[in-house]
Amino acid sequence: MEIVIQPDPELAGDLIAQEIVRLYRRKPTAVLGLATGSTPLPVYEALRRRHEAGEVSFAEGQAFILDEYVGLPEGHPESYRTVIRTELVDHVDFPRHALHAPEVEAEDLERAVLAYEWAIRDTGGVDLQLLGIGENGHIGFNEPGASLASRTRVGYLTPSTVAANARFFDDDESQVPRRCVTQGLATIMTAHHLVIIATGEKKARAVAQMIEGPVSQRWPASVLQHHTHVTVLLDEGAASQLELADYYREAYGSVPSWRII
């Protein structure tokens, strides 16, 4: 894992955006995996800006969302499809049909979920998967206890995730859907480059467990220790419980300037 500690979330977001721009220049058909929540918003903002400046085109690209609530109607402002459209797709030249999401309204949800897993495989794999992390160590909606070998499936939110996400639903936990579809941990691990962003002290414990703790279902993000190409972008708050923070700073300081992350 490469750990990059930045003074503020905007800088971290822009570094990821630069990496995505570089990816699309090298491979215009690149496949992105996209997370929602508040932490990746600076990435989408930077991508909109860089697209407007003519630095990048997504016209031949594809994207798969990481997870989705079950039970929100199409077009609901908090459905993750809507969030990705309003934060990114509607502002850049990404073809609308190139944004893939699990069919959470399907009558046969289990079948729809399998189809989503296969659709990801059929592309040959996600080139860059953007991830956030929950305070309880989840990635996607792979809550503590998720099998490290899990594939895309229907899941159920923990009370701590419901409480954390209530802020998107008028601070009313009863409005937060409990069921979800999420790419599994093993699905996420098939992406070529995993880029995870975490900001704020609330994430510090989960971040420390992910990077320096044992690999375990209790902290699902710790599975990333088994991937060969993971970049972790942190602000000082999220990095505050890392035992080896100074070493990570020094090591990233030594990377050649042509390499972004």
Residues contributing to the site for ligand F6R (CB under 6 A): 35-39, 66-67, 80, 132-134, 138-140
The residue type at 158: T
- Closest approach, Cβ 67 to ligand F6R, in A, equals 5
Q: Where are the alpha helices (H) located in the chain, listed in sequence order?
A: 9-26, 41-52, 80-87, 109-122, 159-165, 185-188, 204-212, 245-253
Which residue has the CB atom at the shortest distance from ligand F6R? 132
Using the minimum distance from each CB to ligand F6R, give the nearer residue, 52 or 173.
173
Using the minimum distance from each CB to ligand F6R, give the nearer residue, 35 or 104.
35
Q: How far apart are CA 68 and CA 79, in angstroms?
A: 7
- Closest approach, Cβ 222 to ligand F6R, in A, equals 14
Q: Which two tokens stand for residue 194?
A: 């995993």
Using the minimum distance from each CB to ligand F6R, give the nearer residue, 60 or 135.
135
- Closest approach, Cβ 255 to ligand F6R, in A, equals 26
Using the minimum distance from each CB to ligand F6R, give the nearer residue, 4 or 131.
131
Q: Interior CA angle at 159 toward 154 and 165, to 5°?
A: 80
- Closest approach, Cβ 166 to ligand F6R, in A, equals 11
Using the minimum distance from each CB to ligand F6R, give the nearer residue, 134 or 184.
134
Do the beta carbons of residue 192 and residue 157 sit within 8 Å?
Answer: no
- Closest approach, Cβ 36 to ligand F6R, in A, equals 4
Q: How far apart are CA 154 and CA 117, in angstroms?
A: 12
Q: Give the DSSP H/E element, type plus range, for residue 195.
A: strand 193-198
